[in-house]
Structure 1
C-alpha cells in the first residue's frame, strides 16, 4: 500500500476509533466512507466491519452496567431482519451508489446532531417507547449495517433525541454493535468470504485503532458531551464533502 495512503488511513482509523470509544458512535460514519473513497471496493466495508466488531468487544465489558436492556433487545429484534435486507442491497448496488448512500446517511446524522444541539435539555428521564417504534429503528439500523457497515448513527441519534443519557446511548449502541457486526462477519464468512486484502489491511491498521480506543476512553472521562458533538459534527461535514468530491 502506498505510504501516503496508509498514513491517511491510519489517521482516519485513530480519530474514528477515538470518537467511537468516547461516544459510542463514529467509526462507521467516519472511517467507513473514507475507506470507500480510498479503496473503492467491497473490502472497504469488510475492514470497517472487522474494526467495529473489535471495538465493541473491547469496550462493552466495561460498560455493561449502563446498557438499556429493553431497548437493546428490541434493536436486535428489528436488526435481525434489517441486516439481511442491507446485505442484499449491498450486492445489488454499485460503488457509486454506496458512496451516495453513505453521503446521505452522514448528512442526515449531521443535521440531526445540529437540531439536537440547538434544543433545550430538560434532564427528564426518557419515557418508555412503544415496542413497534424501537423495533422499526432496529430494522432501519440493521439495513444500514448490512448495506454500509453503519448500524449506529440512526439508533444512537434516536436514543439521544428520545432523552437517553450519554452513558446509556454509548453502552447500548456498542452492545448492539456486537450483534450487528457479528452478524455481518458471519454473513461474509458464510456467503462470500473475507477478501485476503481486506483482512491484511485490517490487521495493518490495528495499532492506530487500539491507540484510538485507549485515547477515547481517557477523553470520555474528561471532556463534555457537547465538545464531542461539535468535533463529531465537524468531521461528519468533512466526510460528506470528501464523498461528494470523489464522485465529481
Structure 2
C-alpha cells in the first residue's frame, strides 16, 4: 500500500467513524466516498459494513441502559428487519441498485430539506408498533440490497418524542444487527479476503478513535438538537448519495 492509499483509507475511516459516533449511522455514506477511490465497489462496501458494526458497538454501549429499558421497542424494528434482509438481497436480481439508491437519496433530500426549513419537527407521542415494524422491515430490505439500513428508521425516529438516548437505542443496535447479518452473507460469499482484512486492520483504529470524538460531541447535544441533527444528516447524506450515483 502506498502512502497515498493509506491516507485515503484513513481519511474515510476518520469521516465514517466521526459521523457514526455523533449520529449513530452514516459510516458507509461518508466513508465510501474515500474508499471507492482506492478499492472496487464490493470490497469498499465490505470494509464500510465492518466499520459500521465496529464503531456502532461503541455507540450502543453508550446507550445500553436505554436499550435494556425498551427491549420490545427495539425488537419491533429488528425482527421485521431481519425478515427483510433476504428479500433485499433477492431484489438485486431484478432491481438496479443505482436506481434504488437515487430513489432513496431523493427521499432523504426531500425529507431533510422540508423539515430543515421548518421551525419545529412533528412530535409523534403515541405508540406505533405496526408502523415501527413496517419501517424496520423496509430498513432490512434496504440493508440487504444497498447497505442503507438506517435511512428510513432515522427519518421515522426523528419525528418521535424520544430522548436522544432512546432514539440512539433504536437506531444503533438496528444498524449493527442488520449490517452485521449482511456482513456475514458477504463473508460466506468470500468477499472478506486477506487484502480486505488488511485494509480493515489499518483503518479500524482510526475509525474507533474518531467515533469516540463523535460520541463526545453527541453527549453535548440536547434532545431537540439531536433530532435536528438527524434531519440535517438526512439532507446531507441524501445529497452525498445522489452525487455519487449521478457523477
Structure 1 length-normalised TM: 0.82
Q: 1:53 touches 1:181 (CA, 8 Å); kept in 2?
A: yes
Structure 2, unmatched stretches of 5+, are none
Q: 2:12 touches 2:32 (CA, 8 Å); kept in 1?
A: no
- Worse overlay, 163-172 or 74-83: 163-172
Q: Does 1:63 align with 2:63?
A: yes
Show the counterpart of 1:75. 77
Structure 1, unmatched stretches of 5+, are none
Q: 1:100 Cα shift?
A: 4.3
RMSD: 2.8
Report 1:72-221 matches (<5 A): 72-90=74-92, 92=93, 97-121=96-120, 126-131=125-130, 133-192=131-190, 194-221=192-219
> Residue deviations 1:182-230, cap 9 Å, x none?
2123223334452333222222211220121111011112354346754
Rounded Cα–Cα distance in structure 2 between residues aligned with 1:122 and 1:239:
24
Q: 1:116 touches 1:161 (CA, 8 Å); kept in 2?
A: no
> Residue deviations 1:148-179, cap 9 Å, x none?
22211111111112443332222211111232
**3-state SS of paired residue (1:21):** helix
Q: 1:93 Cα shift?
A: 7.2
- Worse overlay, 27-36 or 10-19: 27-36
Q: 1:75 touches 1:137 (CA, 8 Å); kept in 2?
A: yes
Structure 2 length-normalised TM: 0.82
Rounded Cα–Cα distance in structure 2 between residues aligned with 1:19 and 1:233:
14
Q: 1:34 touches 1:239 (CA, 8 Å); kept in 2?
A: no
Count of aligned residue pairs for this structure pair: 241
